[in-house]
Every structure is written in structure tokens, then in C-alpha cells.
Amino acid sequence: MILAYLDESGNSGNNLTDSQQPVFCLAALLVPESSWVTIEAELFLEIERFFPDANPDEFEIHAAELISPRGYFRAFPIQHRLNFFTAALGVAQRHQLKVIHRAIVKHRYLRWLESAFGSGVIINPHLAAFPLVAHVVNDYLKAQPDSPLGIFISDENREVMFDVEKAQKLLRGTPGRLHLDHIIEKGFFIDSRKSLLLQLGDLCAYACRRLEEEKAGFPVKELNRSVIKAIEPLLHRGSESLPDVLVWLESEQKRSGQGPKPRGR
């Protein structure tokens, strides 16, 4: 069994014109079930090394708070926080974990929505990124020795929880490239405060977003260079099927029978 910890970065909901977060990124951190206990223990050691006075029952790793500190992290200089960020990703690298991600440039996505459905229809980019990530994860599982099954473990995001569960169910019954035959029936949505591996997934999603922003030509601050460098060895580049996903999204929108919705709702 492979545990796929799924997290996002750059989430602005249905606001696709947010200039501060021009790219949405969804990332899956793939962890063999035989390794997660060891990885969790090593992450605890890194927390103790960098933040020895932290209360383990209240401490939570958030990429955004490490980079633009709030609360507890404000007491530490930026280099200390960046060193912890890269050390945590170093745990993933030592265990040869893989990260599968998909970034959506929001202004391009908005143009596609308007051309496909007309103005006023907004589909949360999470729901567009999920089938792209899911089918690459599925292909990765099938290619591994013994073809293990996988399970998605996600942070509780009430905006999209129902729709993601619905999409996963639909994709299990969808023929062709998007068919999910190595993902078990139902994923789990859990409080990220209760999972260090999910918190590590948050760091991965943030680093992937900064990488994709740089590739898309958006300005990237120098302090993010180290996290971009740290994520690159973890990345698995699969064969995406973007045209199939776009067709699937269009068909599901039409099948829903829903008319155009005002933006932001």
C-alpha cells in the first residue's frame, strides 16, 4: 500500500484573478506504508533540532508560516526557518519518496472556463488538478513492483471535500486514460494538525507552486530558491492527459444540469 498525502498551495477558492496567488498547485507525496512510522520519527527529530522548545501537541508545520512567519515562527530568523524547511524535505529525499503535482495558472484556466462554458461558470481549480494528479499516481502505482494499491489522505478542505470524493468515485468508473484502478475506494480527510506526513505534504505543495510560478514567468523571491532546489529531486514526472481531463470536466458539468453560476459562489 502507498499512502498518497494530498495537499494544495495557492488556494484562493473560486477567485481566479488573485494577483498574490497566480498559480494553484496540488501535490501528492507518496509514502510506502512500511516507511511512514520511520519518516514520522525523523520529522520529529528535525522539529526537536530546530525548535527544541516547541510544544509537540500544538506545533504544526505550515510552509506559508515558515516563509512569512506568524505566531511561534516569528521568533526565528529566516535562514533558520529555511534550513528547517529544506531539512524536512531532506527526510523525504533520504527515503526516496516521490511527489506528483499539477499546477494550474489561474488566468489561463479562467480563459478556458469562459471559452468552454461562457462567462460566469467557475470550477474550483482543485477539481481540475485532482484528476490530473490522480491518474499519474495511478500510473505510478501500476509501474511499481507488485503494483501496490494507493489511498489518498487529504487535509480537511470543506470547499472541495464532497466534490473530490465524488470525482474519485466517478473516475473509478471512467474508461480510458483517467480510469483509477489502483486507488482504493475511499480517501480520508483528516485534520493536518494530527499528521506530520500531511504537514510534510504541505511543504512539498508550497515548493512545487514556487517552482511552477518561476516556470510560468512570475517573480519568485530569492528566499524561495532553496525550497525549489530541495523539491526537484523528489519530483516524478508522469504522462498527463490534459485533453482527456478537459473533456471529462466538460461532460461532468453538462451532466450535472447546472446552469452558469455567478463568480465567487
pTM tops 0.85: yes
The DSSP element (H or E) to which 143 belongs, if any, is helix 125-143
Is 243 domain-assigned? Answer: yes
- Block residue for cell numbers 516521490: 98
Q: Given the C-alpha cell 473533456, which residue does it identify?
A: 247
pLDDT of residue 89: 98
Does residue 157 sit within a domain? yes
C-alpha cell at 101: 503535482
User: Does residue 102 belong to any structural domain of this protein?
Assistant: yes
Strand order in the sheet with 98-105: 98-105, 23-32, 2-9, 150-155, 188-190
Does any domain span residue 227? yes
Mean pLDDT of 39-65: 89
Across the range 230-237, mean pLDDT stands at 96
pLDDT at 106 over 70: yes
Per-residue pLDDT, 56: 65
Consecutive H or E run containing 40: helix 36-50
Three-state DSSP class for 29? strand
pLDDT surpasses 70 at 261 = no
Query: Which three three-digit cell numbers place residue 95?
Result: 527515503
264 located within any domain: no
Of residues 157 and 107, which shows the higher confidence score? 107
Spatial distance between the Cα atoms of 180 and 146, rounded to a whole number of angstroms: 17
pLDDT per residue as tens digits for the range 170-226: 887 787 778 889 998 777 888 888 899 999 999 999 999 999 999 999 998 998 999
Q: How confident is the model at residue 153 (pLDDT cuts 50, 70, 90)?
A: very high
Mean pLDDT, rounded, of the chain: 89
Q: 82 vs 70, 104, 225, CA distance in Å?
A: 14, 25, 10
The three three-digit cell numbers of residue 66, written as one number: 515558515
More confident position, 40 or 174: 40
- Does the pLDDT value for residue 254 go beyond 80? no
Which CATH number do you get for residue 81?
Answer: 3.30.420.10
Tell me phi and psi for residue 158, to 5 degrees: -65, -20
Indicate the number of domains in the chain.
Answer: 1
Task: Decide: 188 and 150 in contact? Cβ < 8 Å.
Answer: no
With respect to residue 265, please indicate whether it lies within any of the assigned structural domains.
no
Domain-located, residue 161 = yes
Does any domain span residue 152?
A: yes
Domain that holds residue 203: 2-256
